[in-house]
Structure 1
Amino acid sequence: MAARLLLVAAFANAALAYSNTGPVVAWASSSSYALDSLPSRLDSDAHSASLLESILSSDDICKHDAILLVEQPGLHASDLRRLSPDAHLHSKLSSSYSARQYPYIPNHHGGIGDTLSSVLESVSSRCNSRLLKHYSPEHTELEHGVKHVLSMTLPHLSESGSARMSAMDHHDKSLASALSSLSASCPDHLVIYTGSPHPASHKRQESDVPDRPSLDFSSVSSSFAPTNTTLPAGGILKRYQILTPGLITGLLVAFFILIPIVLGGMNALASIQNPVRTDVSKSFNAQERKNQ
């Protein structure tokens, strides 16, 4: 029982650790210093926006004919692992001159949309490239001999189980079509494929965080206003964040492991009794005692 609870607690902590992460996969059709210079493992404070900024701000980024950024909300590292071995993404990574894979990159708390928009504009201006923020191979024709900076968004992954795997196979084919069109016009290209949280989840997170209070100095009086001591409506669980994941794990360990051990030890100590000595000494003689 105790071993099972420890396993459940370990899996719960692992799930919480990877809950707000997404993969970042990048490859280039030619040798790329922007990718080769990246470490195999990133620092603990790195997040998706800082990693993309590091790649796109490299000195040799302008040598590529095209830079394609593919963003997919809801994408997890497990989705890429479940792709079939003959998936187009796997073949691209294995045949590329330079490639990097980071399965669990923490998502930026403010999202990467605004950051990517400014970074793509900066790269386009620095490399004198044509910027297309909503690239679609069916509706966009790339010009030969012109550098391009492209941004593409795949549909949000909200399915589960076999439906999610089928959706990933379909998205892999869509990505293959886009890369085929890109390779025909821009043979030397760099592609970054990243997951991102759904915009609705950002709205929920932002709504949970109270707004920073603003100070209004327009109507300052000579005396201080009385302090508002009114507490928010609701119980204590609504006023304070008490049941955190760490506290819940500690309570489970305490109630189901430590307390049974303590009670078992107390019962064992209570069962120990001092035995009554009932054996008669061998030197005792009843007849001698009677004669005395």
Structure 2
Amino acid sequence: MRTAFFLSLLLASVYEVSAVEKTSPFLAWSPQEFTVTKDLNTQVISVQDLQRGVHDLVDCSHKVILVVDEPGLHSSDLGRGRDRLKNQVQEAPSSVQIPFIDGAMDLEKLAESLSQKCQTSFVNANEADDTVNTLEGPSVIYKRLDSGSVVENDKSLDKIISQIRNKFQDNFLVLYSSSQTKEFPIKHRLSARQLPGDPASQKQSGIFHNYTFFSQGIFMGLLIVVIVIPIVFIGVTWNLSVQQPQRFEKKQN
């Protein structure tokens, strides 16, 4: 019985890990205030719901919409070596942070559809380094970060945002996600699990505050439980084994 109980707990934990393994995060921020739709106020979202939510979010009031694609990005990767990205999101007056997209979204097609919606030009920033300087009007820019280095990707993102800010001031919107989910080695799958935080604390910490599958508190709690449960089980078993005497001794003269 006890063996089946512990096996069920283990299988449940593995299922939860696999549930968020093939996911990617979504970030959106702007120096200007924007209204976050109800569909985007969540921790887990499907690709279809995210596409609809983004189209509702974009009201075509920004001169530049920057769509950033970093293949293989997972929410657990956002807390290491991305100080510039972290500052951009936390300092923005308005932001959206969704840790888990169930799958990956084609961000280049998303950028093209947003340019059609807003009737603006579509620009692929991967073809030239000075793309922003050649812009003459409202545009949707698609930028792919595939250098393989977290630090280099963070610098490239900060560079293109600085160019946009210098030319268009604060009239821009950034959409940041991944068109390809990250593949985790089997031995690292447990550490890839990211738990959604308290929605009330998302503005301060967002999804940059990392969680691990086993913390020190959880480990000590499990250790205590392993010790206490056998003791309680043995004590209850002994109490239940106490039987009423079947006969009494005769009185002695």
* 1:150 Cα deviation after fit: 1.3
| Residue segments in structure 1 that go unaligned for 5+ positions in a row | 158-166, 202-259, 286-292
1:2-61 deviations in whole A, cap 9, x for unaligned?
89867755543431221122110101122234xx335663386x3134313422344622
Q: In structure 1, how many angstroms separate the alpha carbons of the residues matched to 2:183 and 2:75? A: 20
Residue 102 of structure 1 corresponds to: 98
Q: Between the two proteins, what is the percent identity of the paired residues?
A: 25
Question: In 2, Cα distance between the equivalents of 1:104 and 1:118?
Answer: 20
SS in 1 for 2:134: coil
TM-score, length-normalised on structure 2?
A: 0.62
Deviations 1:168-216 (A, max 9, x none): 2332112111212222233311111113435999xxxxxxxxxxxxxxx
Structure 1 residue corresponding to 2:105, chosen from 109, 112, 118: 112
Is contact 2:74–2:182 with CA below 8 Å preserved after alignment? Answer: no
Q: Pick from 113, 138, 142 the counterpart of residue 147 of structure 1.
A: 138
- RMSD, aligned CA: 4.2
Q: Report the counterpart of residue 59 of structure 2 in structure 1.
A: 60
Gap runs ≥5 in structure 2? 185-229
CA distance in 1 between partners of 2:75 and 2:183 (Å): 20
Normalising by structure 1, what TM-score? 0.55
Q: Which residue of 2 aligns with 1:162?
A: none
Distance in 1 of aligned mates of 2:21 and 2:182: 16
Distance in 2 between residues matched to 1:12 and 1:106, nearest whole Å = 17
Instruction: State the Cα distance separating 1:128 from its structure 2 match.
Output: 2.8
- Cα 1:12–1:99 change in 2 (3 A) is same
| Runs of 4+ with deviation above 6 angstroms | 1-7, 267-276
Distance in structure 2 (CA, Å) of the matches to 1:280 and 1:199:
81
Amino acid of the residue matched to residue 34 of structure 2?
S
Matches within 5 A, 1:66-145: 66-83=64-81, 87-107=83-103, 111-113=104-106, 116-135=107-126, 138=129, 140-145=131-136
Structure 1 residues 125-174: Cα deviation after superposition (integer angstroms, max 9, x where no partner): 332322124535625354344111111222286xxxxxxxxx32332112
* 2:18 paired residue number: 16
> 2:29 is paired with a residue of what secondary structure?
strand
- Tell me the secondary structure at the aligned position of residue 151 of structure 2: helix
How many pairs were matched up? Answer: 205
